Amino acid sequence: MLKEGKTKVYTEYLTFNTKNRRELVRITERVQEAVRKSGIQEGLCLVSAMHLTASVFIQDDEEGLHQDIWDWLEKLAPFRSDYRHHLTGEDNGDAHLKNLLTHLQVVLPVTEGRLDLGPWQEIFYAEYDGQRPKRVVIKILGI
């Protein structure tokens, strides 16, 4: 189906300041609300963490799976003191590696003014080095 019209762009920022250093925050409704406010009916929605020690991904909202994800990430990129990055005075080398494993951003379809997600798909902001303000950008393009 071909839809024609003038392309619109809408941008919104979310700010997070997590209580814990590592935290998973479900943001599906907040992103859907941005899509609604944009007025865009057909297009794409980019959701991107603006920090290299956090990520945005799509996954099932199930507590056991969340723990499996944390366990997997800790196994592949454990918190430890001997990362070369720590020679700069930082202590978040593992957070940068966890970001590489889970990606910085997602691009989602917008259909008929709504996120076009599968039945179990939810959007999550994953924080790997929190307890300070961080932002996510939502950019929606379409007609």
Overall pTM surpassing 0.75 (yes/no): yes
- Sorted by where each starts, the structural domains of the chain and their CATH numbers stand as 8-78+91-142 (2.60.120.460)
Please name the residue ranges forming H helices in 1-111.
28-38, 63-76, 93-102
> What distance in Å separates the CA atoms of residue 7 and residue 22, rounded to the nearest whole number?
38
Per-residue pLDDT at 93 exceeds 70: yes
Residue 83: per-residue pLDDT: 93
The string of pLDDT tens digits covering residues 18-44 is 999 999 999 999 999 999 999 999 999
Residue 1: per-residue pLDDT: 59
The string of pLDDT tens digits covering residues 73-82 is 999 999 999 9
> What distance in Å separates the CA atoms of residue 78 and residue 74, rounded to the nearest whole number?
4
